[in-house]
Amino acid sequence: MNSPATGRAKSARPMIIRYQGVIKRYGAFQALSGVDLDVHSGEVVCLIGPSGSGKSTLLRCTNGLEPTDGGAIEFEGAPLPRDERALRAVRRRMGMVFQSFELFPHLSALENVAEGPRTVLGMDRPGAESRAAAMLAKVGLADKAPNHPSELSGGQQQRVAIARALAMEPDVMLFDEPTSALDPETIGEVLNVMKTLADEGMTMVVVTHEMTFARRVGDWVAVFDVGRIVEQGPPRQIFEAPETERTRDFLSHLGWNG
Amino acid sequence: MDFDFTVITSHARFLGSGIVTTLALSLASGLTSLAAGFVIALARLYGPRWLRVVVVLYIDSMRAIPVLVVLVWTFFALPLVTGLTMPPFAAALLGLTVHLAAYAAEIVRAGVESVRPGQMRAAVALGMSRGQAVRRILMPQALVRMLPAFGSFLSITIKDTAIASVIAVTELMRQSETLAGQSFQPIEVFSFAMLVYFVILFPVTRAVDFVYRRVAYLGRS
Amino acid sequence: MNLDWSVVWQHRDALLAGTATTIVLTVATMAIAVPCGIVVAIMRLYAWKPLAVLATAYVEFFRNLPLILVVYWAFYVLPILTGVGLSPLATGLSALALNVTAYNAETFRAGINSIRRGQLDAAMALGMGRAQALRRVVLPQAMRRILPVLASTWVSLFKDTSLVSVIAVTELAYVAMQIRAQTFRVLEMLTAMAVIYWLLGYPQAKLVDWIQRRFAVTE
C-alpha cells in the first residue's frame, strides 16, 4: 500500500533512499513481499511492527548485507549495485548500528571507532584516532576511549557503536533495534544520542520497539506486518489516528493507548 | 631393594643431550605443525571445494593412523620412494609435522568458527572487504579463542617426541632406554625420565591457562 | 625398485591376528578404564581430603607423561616392584589402562562439574542421598557431555595400542614390522600397516563425529 505525498511536509528535500516493490525470500519463507518506502534527506523514518515482519530484513537489504530477490532499492538516485566492490563504496556512505552492538572485543573503544577510517578510508593512525576521539566525545564517552568493550556497560557499548558508524561520516544511519538488548536504565542514554543526531539533521532509518521515540523523534513511521507495510505516515497519524485495523491491533497489543 | 641414583649423575651429559633433543624436536615440530595447520585450516575454511575435500580427507586420515606408523613410514619407507635418505631427526620432524598439523588445523578451524558471525557483519557494514574483515577483525579474536586448545596441543607435541625414540632419534626416551638396558638400573633411569617429562609438561598447560585467563576478554564478543 | 605386494596377502593370517590383538587391547583397556575412571573422578570430587589429593596426583601424573615411557616403565619396573612377572600383553594392557583411566577420570570429573550445582541441590533437597542424587540426576545428564569425549578417547586409544609394540606385544604394528624384518619388503609392509590402520580407524573417526553431532549440547 502506497502512501500519498500529502502530509509529507519534508517531501521537498532530496530523496536519499527509495524502496520500490522490494522482495526478499529465505528459501520458502517470504520475508518481504513488495515494500514501497521513501526516505528523504534529514528525515527520521521509523519502522515498527511485530517480530519477524521484515523490518530488520529491509535494513540488511539496504546496505547490501543481504541481496534482494525482486524490486529495486535506490540510494542517492542510483540503484544499489550488485557488485561487491561497488557495494563496499555504498556501505561507506551508510552507517549501521546493530542490536547486539558488535563492537570488536580485541580493540579499545578508541580503536573501534578509528577502525573504519583507518582500514576502509585509508586514514593514517593519528588522523583516524583524533576523529575517533571527537566522535566519542560527541556520544559522551570521551573518558572511555582506552577501555575495551568488556569493561563497558551495554548502553556505553552501543554508544561507542554509534560513534564507530558516525566516524565514517555517512549520509544515512541505519539502526537495527538499537535498544532491544539493553537494560531499561541504559536505553535512555542511547535514545538521547539518537535524538541529538536527528536534531542535527542526520537521515536515519530506525527499526525500533520504542514507541515513545518513534512518536517524538520520528518524522515518518512505517508499520510492518508479514513482509509488507500495512500503513505509513507521520507519527501523529500512526499513533493517534491509525487508518488500518492492523495498526490499531499492533499498537493496542503493545498497550499503546494513544 | 636399594636405589643407586649415581647412574643418573654419572651419565648426566648423555641424558642431558637427550633432554636437549626432546626440547629441540618439540619446539621445531610444534612450530612447523602450527604453521602448516594454520594454512591447512585456511584452505578448509576459504578454499575451493576440491581443496576442502582433500584437506578433510587428510585430517581424518591422521585421526586414524597412529603417530608411530607415520614416523616409521617416514623414516624407513619414504627414502625408498624418493631415493633420499633422511637423518632420524629430520624424519621425525617431518613425520610429526604431518601428523600434528591435522590437529592444529582443527584447533584453528574451531577458533575461527567460534567467533560470532555478527562480528563479520559489522566489519562488512563498515565497508571493509572480506579479506580485511577476516584479517583485522576475525583472526585476532579467533587466535585468542584458540589458546586453551593450544595448551593441550603443546602437551601432545612434547609427548609425541618420545615416540621418535622408535626411529633412533636420540631424545630423552631413547637415551633412557639405552641407559636402562646398559646399566641394569631401569627403576632409577626411568624414574628420572618420568620426573623430567613431568616437570616439562606440567607447567606447559598451566602457563597456557594462565595466559589465556588474562587475555580471554579480547576474544569475548 | 621392484615391489612385491603379494607379501601382504601371504601374511594375511598374521596381520589378521595382530589386528585382533589390537582390538582386544582396545576393548579390554576401555573395559577397565571406564569404571576405574569413574571411581577416580568420584574420589577427586567427593572423597576425604587425602584420598582426593591422591586421586588428583594420580591423574595429573599420568596425563603429563608420554605413554611410551609408561609402557617401558611397566615392562622394566613393574616386575621388580611387584615381584610378579607379567606377559608382554598383560604389561601393555596395564600401561594402557593406567594411562586411559587418568584421562577418563578427568573426562568424568569435567562432565559432572559441568552440571549446574542446583541440580544436585534440588535432588538432595528432595531427600536423596548424595550417591543416589549423583546416580539418578547428575550422571545421566553428564553422560551427554561425557559420551562424545569418551568416543574420542576410544579412537586415540586405538592408535595408542601401536605403542605397546615396543615391548613385543603381537598387535598389528609389531606383527607388520616383524614381517617387514623377515621379508625385507619394507615399503610394502609399512604401507600395508598404514592402510590397515586407516581402514580400521577412519570409520571410527567418522562415527565419533556423528556421536558428537548427535550429542551436541545446546543450552
CA–CA separation, A15 vs A17, rounded Å? 6
pLDDT band at C122 (very low <50, low <70, confident <90, very high): confident
Q: Residue C66, SS3?
A: coil
Q: Which amino acid is at A111?
A: E
CA–CA separation, B65 vs B50, rounded Å? 23
Please check the confidence at residue A3 and state whether its pLDDT lies above 60.
no
Looking at CA atoms only, how far is residue B126 from chain C in angstroms? 31
Cβ pair B81:C60 closer than 8 A: no
Q: Comparing C-alpha atoms, which of B178, B189, B172 is closest to residue B5? A: B189
CA–CA separation, A248 vs A196, rounded Å? 30
Q: Comparing C-alpha atoms, which of A16, A26, A17 is closest to residue A68? A: A26
Q: Comparing C-alpha atoms, which of A92, A36, A31 is closest to residue A63? A: A92
- The whole-number pLDDT of residue A8 equals 53
- The whole-number pLDDT of residue A4 equals 47
pLDDT band at C67 (very low <50, low <70, confident <90, very high): very high
C212 touches chain B (CB under 8 A): no
Query: Which residue among B65, B194, B202 sits closest to C201, beta carbon to beta carbon?
Result: B65
Cβ pair C206:B60 closer than 8 A: yes
Query: Which residue among B128, B130, B220 sits closest to A105, beta carbon to beta carbon?
Result: B220
> What cell was used for B50?
576440491
Q: How many CB atoms lie under 10 A from the CB of residue C64?
A: 21
CA–CA separation, A40 vs C115, rounded Å? 55
Do B and A share at least 3 CB pairs under 8 Å?
yes
Query: Which residues of chain B neighbour A165 with C-beta distances below 8 Å?
Result: 126
Query: Which residue among C159, C180, C202 sits closest to B66, beta carbon to beta carbon?
Result: C159
Q: Are C177 and C194 a contacting pair, CB within 8 Å? A: no
Q: How far is CA C138 from CA C35, C43, C211, in A?
A: 17, 16, 20
CA–CA separation, C197 vs C204, rounded Å? 11
3-state SS record for chain A: CCCCCCCCCCCCCCEEEEEEEEEEEECCEEEEEEEEEEEECCCEEEEECCCCCCHHHHHHHHCCCCCCCEEEEEECCEECCCCHHHHHHHHHCEEEECCCCCCCCCCCHHHHHHHHHHHHCCCCHHHHHHHHHHHHHHCCCHHHCCCCHHHCCHHHHHHHHHHHHHCCCCCEEEEECCCCCCCHHHHHHHHHHHHHHHHCCCEEEEECCCHHHHHHHCCEEEEEECCEEEEEECHHHHHHCCCCHHHHHHHHHCCCCC
Looking at CA atoms only, how far is residue C6 from chain B in angstroms? 17
Cβ pair B136:A98 closer than 8 A: no
Q: Residue-wise pLDDT tens for chain B (221 aa)?
A: 567 788 888 888 999 999 999 999 999 999 999 999 999 999 999 999 999 999 999 999 999 999 999 999 999 999 999 989 999 999 999 999 999 999 999 999 999 999 989 999 999 999 999 999 999 999 999 999 888 888 889 999 999 999 999 999 999 999 999 999 898 888 899 999 999 999 999 998 788 878 888 888 887 76
Q: Are B108 and B35 a contacting pair, CB within 8 Å? A: no
Looking at CA atoms only, how far is residue B128 from chain C in angstroms? 32
Query: Which residue among A89, A98, A116 sits closest to B118, beta carbon to beta carbon?
Result: A98
Q: Are C160 and C69 a contacting pair, CB within 8 Å? A: no
Partners of residue A79 on adjacent β-strands: A74
Q: Residue B66, SS3?
A: coil
**A148-201: per-residue pLDDT in tens?**
999 999 999 999 999 999 999 999 999 999 999 999 889 999 999 999 999 999
* A7 φ/ψ sector (left φ>0, alpha ψ -120 to 50, else beta): left
User: Out of A221-225, B81-85, C82-86, C204-208, which region has the weakest mean confidence (pLDDT)?
Assistant: C82-86
Percentage, residues of chain A above pLDDT 70 = 94
**C168-184: per-residue pLDDT in tens?**
999 999 999 999 999 99
> What cell was used for B128?
571493509
DSSP state of B165: G
B125 touches chain A (CB under 8 A): yes
CA–CA separation, B115 vs B123, rounded Å? 13
Q: Which amino acid is at B91?
A: A
Please check the confidence at residue A246 and state whether its pLDDT lies above 90.
no
Q: Comparing C-alpha atoms, which of C109, C198, C96, C94 is closest to residue C149? A: C109
CA–CA separation, B196 vs B190, rounded Å? 10
Query: Which residues of chain C neighbour B183 with C-beta distances below 8 Å?
Result: none
> What cell was used for B193?
625420565
CA–CA separation, B24 vs B36, rounded Å? 18
Q: Residue B128, SS3?
A: coil
This complex has an ipTM of 0.90
Mean pLDDT to the nearest integer, A215-232: 93
Cβ pair A150:B125 closer than 8 A: no
Minimal Cα distance from A91: which residue of B?
B127
CA–CA separation, C158 vs A100, rounded Å? 45
